[in-house]
A and B are shown apart, each in its own frame.
Chain A
């Protein structure tokens, strides 16, 4: 039987969930301008919602830390011998816990928005009400279909454990960061719906939305980057992006959100594209939900899959369906009323952003079809198949060239009609410089593929142009304040694209079977297999190989790839050993197949990996900077 303490915790935590459910219901009723629920006010209820969920989340953390195996969730997902940090991250390393985390963030955004100032009371009420309807739905789902606080009747001595591949410090922060991104778009969605209801989708709406949408976008970017970084050094395949459905599921909302943040900017500056902005806001949040659904439902098989109960997947699917039906009917009903006829010049910044919006939607369609096609054939035709990564790279690359061009040229154009040739003449030195560098690169590194050359050229153009735009002196030689966030993110994207292309072209791989004493070669480096050791750690045993890397007979570094044998649950993982240099990474992984005497070593040279992460960081910081500049400047001209 469960102990008395566990029983108390069981009652308290379930009470807290019900409390939040009630508060959210009262909060949602404010959507109708009624007299019954004017009290308690929005802020009081937001406090109740936040505190009840925060407390139940803290209780869950406590249960994992003290390893209370009376609770099913702890029993199935933790183990007493696990290091403390993984007991902690184990809280969201399972379906129920991650749902609670999701709700916590949902409630947190709701709370922060309820506290924000300079927003009309009615608009705030409606937004919070819509957000609370979602909170209600998710808390009800948690309480009835995936309750984390369920007691068992057995006295389990120890738990089953957390999948060892998830036992990684990076994975302790990857889900929370990604969730802040996904869930951040829930608030943007609520704001969009509130805008539709009040029929006020204008500049002021855009400036309210801006900080939220930019911070959600920055977090989503960071979450995806963390996942990719984890895959790079933990999975041991030498790659950072595999076009795996799970990765695509997070990329799709990102693409939609990237289009959205630019539309919010145009809306703020020019008061145009109201409907399209609303559509993108709805699309982004729906794709965030689709992402969660795909990843968590068990449809895709991966380390991310927790739920195998079809009822849970069905709930999210139903939820997405309701959201789409509700929001698009509201949109159809009210969209004429939010649109105002404001023109933009044909050759203008707005047009450039619009073109790139369409290109982003095209890329989104490509990723969507590639991800859904195998699922559809599996469900409908019972035929299983995979879409090769080449589909994505060959289809997306030509679009990226156009995309980079418009990314480079649009910020240079004015908001009203601009003469293109004048801009080109203005930028002639930039263009000539980029062209020369590209030519030198392509001749020196023997790069003769047109697509690759063009991507390098336009990325370079974008980087140089963004950098020069951010260092802008006025006539008195004083540095003027420029749009740092935008320039940083754009330059980062250019750097990322250059790194991606050169990495794909110049990566090298060698596979050897090695015994102690062998010398293996990779380019100009020699790796001597020095020794192999067995190491015992607290939660696993490992086989560690030592390779001495030498160049011209001189020792440069020691590599220690590892194979780890975990017992709770029994699993084997390969740990890569990576040397990060500025221009390239050297990457060693080993394997010990059964029935074999020697070990297999895979060595990779991965050029520009550091630069690739650097570009990604620049994008993230660009987003953070843009989010923190609160009031946008209006261009009245």
Chain B
């Protein structure tokens, strides 16, 4: 092998190793920071759901909204088939209302309650998060086009 080819080969192998290490680190980090989205039915189906940060979306069930104090709220999220009770402490977005689409972020607890630390904001009254539409379609409750 000529020295030029040799040095090129070494350079190539070296950069290949560095790149693969970098990509591996990135992917491991990525996996640690993934937040999955579920509808109520999907969430109840999966097994290892406790303690992991996830998003839950659906409609706010009619007559489920209660507030304990000015900033602690209880409501249920439904996809028409299953319901999950949510506890949320914080500030509710302007357009939060019963029978409207909502997406919350938090953890699912042993007692079957979802503790949310974020209610994702929306701007448009008629806007429905695509994940929620998907969820409602899966449960057959979607009424839009």
Contacts and interface: CB of A to CB of B under 8 A. Distances in A.
Given A301-B130, A369-B26, A386 B34 contact: yes
Interface string A159-178: 00001110000000000000
Contacts of B29: 391, 394-395
Contact of B30 (A165, A369, A563): A369
Contacts of A386: 34-35, 37, 55
Nearest to A597: B70
A631 B130 CA distance: 52
B16 to A, nearest CB: 13
Interface stretch (B6-14, B77-85, B107-115, B118-126): B118-126
A452 to B, nearest CB: 18
A113 interface: no
Interface string A557-594: 00000010000011111100000000000000001111
Interface in B93-145: 93-97, 121, 123-126, 129-131, 134
Interface in B37-68: 37, 53, 55, 65, 67
A595 B74 CA distance: 13
Contacts of B17: none
Interface residues of A, number: 40
A380 interface: no
A164 B97 CA distance: 21
A324 B119 CA distance: 41
A391 B32 CA distance: 8
A592 B96 CA distance: 9
B124 A511 contact: no
B70 A513 contact: yes
A600 B71 contact: yes
Residue of B35, B125, B130 most packed against chain A (CB within 10 A): B35
B125 A570 contact: yes
Contacts of A593: 91-94, 96
Nearest to A300: B130
How many chain B residues sit at the interface, stated as a range, is 35 or more
A298 to B, nearest CB: 10
Contacts of B91: 511, 591, 593, 600, 602
A40 interface: no
A500 interface: no
Given A385-B37, A386-B35, A591 B26 contact: no
Contacts of A164: 123
A311 interface: no
Contacts of B32: 391
Contacts of A362: 22
A370 B36 contact: no
Contact of A388 (B27, B35, B121, B123): B35
A563 B90 CA distance: 18
A387 B33 contact: yes
Contacts of A594: 96-97
Interface string A494-529: 000000000000000001010000000000000000
A237 interface: yes
Nearest to A236: B121
A388 B23 contact: no
Contact of B71 (A370, A373, A511, A592): A511
Contacts of B37: 384-386
Contacts of A591: 91-94
A569 B124 CA distance: 9
A570 B29 CA distance: 41
B95 A572 contact: yes
Given A362-B22, A511-B90, A572 B27 contact: no
B33 A391 contact: yes
13 contacts: A163-B124, A164-B123, A301-B129, A303-B123, A386-B35, A388-B34, A390-B33, A572-B125, A573-B123, A591-B91, A593-B96, A595-B97, A598-B70
When A and B form their complex, which 9 residue pairs have the shortest distance between CB atoms, in order from nearest? A513-B70, A391-B33, A593-B92, A388-B33, A384-B37, A600-B91, A386-B35, A385-B36, A572-B94
Given A384-B134, A388-B35, A513-B71, 10 more contacts: A237-B121, A301-B130, A366-B26, A373-B34, A384-B131, A385-B34, A395-B30, A570-B124, A595-B97, A600-B91
